Amino acid sequence: MPSHLNHHIDLFISHLRIERGLAELSIDAYASDLSRYALFLEANEFTGVTEDDTYAILKHMINLRDEGLGSRSRARHLVSIRSFYRFLAEEKILASDPSGVIDFPKTGLKLPDTLSVSEVKQLLETPNTKTARGMRDAAMIELLYAAGLRVSELIHLELNDINLEAGFVRVFGKGSKERIVPMGQYAMDKLNLYLTTARPLLLKLHTSRTLFVARAGKPMTRQGFWKLLNKYTLLAGLEGKISPHTLRHSFATHLLEGGADLRVVQVMLGHADISTTQIYTHITGDHLRIMHRTYHPRG
């Protein structure tokens, strides 16, 4: 494995032995789990650990499940990985702990809440596309899932951020970092219907640069979209609350489970700017589009 990753693991093992005083059997278990995780990172061409490793950890958990590990064994692996990242954050080696969102109950491993492909399809088909609001809502939810957007990114999209001819959406994420994400044919079709039919009806006499308009051409609020999504969740008959982030997690999980390359998914999620993806690999726009169409359920 890369020397600095090996160094970080050695530091953590020393911490377990010297500062926490764990028994050698426990230390061996931590070392074994982290060695397996390090081999996974090496196989996926990671040169170290970063604050954006949430989906690397998720992919590793999926791999362990596919290899036949039971929930208790996977939970133990996750304990080791979370302890490792927490240590790196506490030592200021990393600015934050990316493993925190991957939680597990006492009964076994719990990955971030996601929907199955069939549940997503059920939700996306719920809005009534015979009404202007229904066309808008259908386009918003479809695009949220199709491009793995954050809700703040979705509601702040402008008209010139959408390129239906090329099939891309331009997104300004955290830190105003720009990324270009493929959206798939389903989203393109629903956006085209919304733009040509519903949006003029919703605007009436108003003008707006905002893509998805609410009253008087103003952008929809985060709270407004949450209410909208909760309404369709109930109408779709899906149990439990579905947040906008549930669809973002589902986007990533479905791509990873379908076999998509981890770095491609991370670029789509906005964990690295398109212009600086050399920290992962050089990915062109054409390659992103092919990967999205190949591995996304609605690409």
pLDDT digits 0-9 by tens, 218-255: 999 989 999 999 999 999 999 776 888 889 888 888 88
Catalytic residue among 271, 289, 292, 298, which?
A: 271
Which residue range(s) make up the domain with 197? 117-295
Evaluate if residue 282 carries a pLDDT over 50: no
Evaluate if residue 284 carries a pLDDT over 60: no
For 125, what's the count of Cα atoms within 13 Å in the CB-facing half-sphere? 9
Q: Do residue 253 and residue 130 come from a single domain?
A: yes
The domain total for the chain is: 2
Evaluate if residue 272 carries a pLDDT over 60: no
DSSP 182-214: E-HHHHHHHHHHIIIIIHHHHHTT---SBSSB-
Of 21, 55, 90, the residue that ends a domain is 90
Task: Report how far residue 164's alpha carbon sits from residue 5's, in angstroms, rounded to the nearest whole number.
Answer: 42
> What pLDDT, in 10s, does the model give residues 171-188?
988 767 788 899 999 999
Domain annotation covers residue 106: no
Q: What is the CATH number of the domain that holds 240?
A: 1.10.443.10
User: Residue 289: its pLDDT value, please?
Assistant: 67
All residues at 6 or more sequence positions from 194 whose CB lies less than 8 Å from its CB, including other chains: 135, 136, 138, 139
DSSP category for residue 219: B
What mean pLDDT do residues 149-171 have? 93
Evaluate if residue 155 carries a pLDDT over 80: yes
Task: Report how far residue 55's alpha carbon sits from residue 272's, in angstroms, rounded to the nearest whole number.
Answer: 13
Q: Do residue 79 and residue 128 come from a single domain?
A: no
Domain annotation covers residue 210: yes
What mean pLDDT do residues 188-198 have? 96
Is 248 in the active site? yes
Task: Report how far residue 266's alpha carbon sits from residue 197's, in angstroms, rounded to the nearest whole number.
Answer: 34
Q: Do residue 128 and residue 256 come from a single domain?
A: yes
Closest CA to 99 of 150, 58, 62: 58
Q: Do residue 199 and residue 279 come from a single domain?
A: yes
User: Residue 108: its pLDDT value, please?
Assistant: 45
Catalytic residue among 7, 174, 218, 227, which?
A: 174
Evaluate if residue 256 carries a pLDDT over 80: no
Catalytic residue among 30, 145, 280, 295, which?
A: 280
What mean pLDDT do residues 18-40 have? 89
The answer to whether 136 touches 198, Cβ cutoff 8 Å, is yes
Evaluate if residue 275 carries a pLDDT over 50: no
User: Residue 1: its pLDDT value, please?
Assistant: 47
Of 75, 90, 105, the residue that ends a domain is 90
> What pLDDT, in 10s, does the model give residues 40-93?
998 988 878 888 888 889 889 888 888 888 878 888 898 899 999 999 999 999
Mean pLDDT rounded to a whole number for the chain? 84
Token pair belonging to 254? 């479905």
Q: Do residue 137 and residue 203 come from a single domain?
A: yes
Domain annotation covers residue 107: no
Of 44, 74, 90, the residue that ends a domain is 90
Is 271 in the active site? yes
Domain annotation covers residue 98: no
Q: Do residue 124 and residue 203 come from a single domain?
A: yes
Q: Do residue 81 and residue 123 come from a single domain?
A: no
All residues at 6 or more sequence positions from 241 whose CB lies less than 8 Å from its CB, including other chains: 230, 233
Helices within the chain (DSSP H only): 3-14, 24-43, 54-66, 71-90, 117-124, 132-147, 151-155, 184-193, 199-203, 222-235, 244-258, 262-269, 285-295
Catalytic residue among 74, 248, 289, 296, which?
A: 248
Domain annotation covers residue 257: yes
Catalytic residue among 15, 222, 245, 287, which?
A: 245
Task: Report how far residue 60's alpha carbon sits from residue 64's, in angstroms, rounded to the nearest whole number.
Answer: 6
Is 280 in the active site? yes
Domain annotation covers residue 188: yes
Q: Do residue 171 and residue 39 come from a single domain?
A: no
Task: Report how far residue 154's alpha carbon sits from residue 191's, in angstroms, rounded to the nearest whole number.
Answer: 13
Evaluate if residue 281 carries a pLDDT over 80: no
Q: Do residue 83 and residue 14 come from a single domain?
A: yes
For 102, 109, 241, the CA distances from 106, given in Å and listed in that order, are 14, 8, 22
What mean pLDDT do residues 189-207 have? 94
Q: Do residue 267 and residue 165 come from a single domain?
A: yes
Domain annotation covers residue 274: yes
Domain annotation covers residue 200: yes
Is 150 in the active site? yes
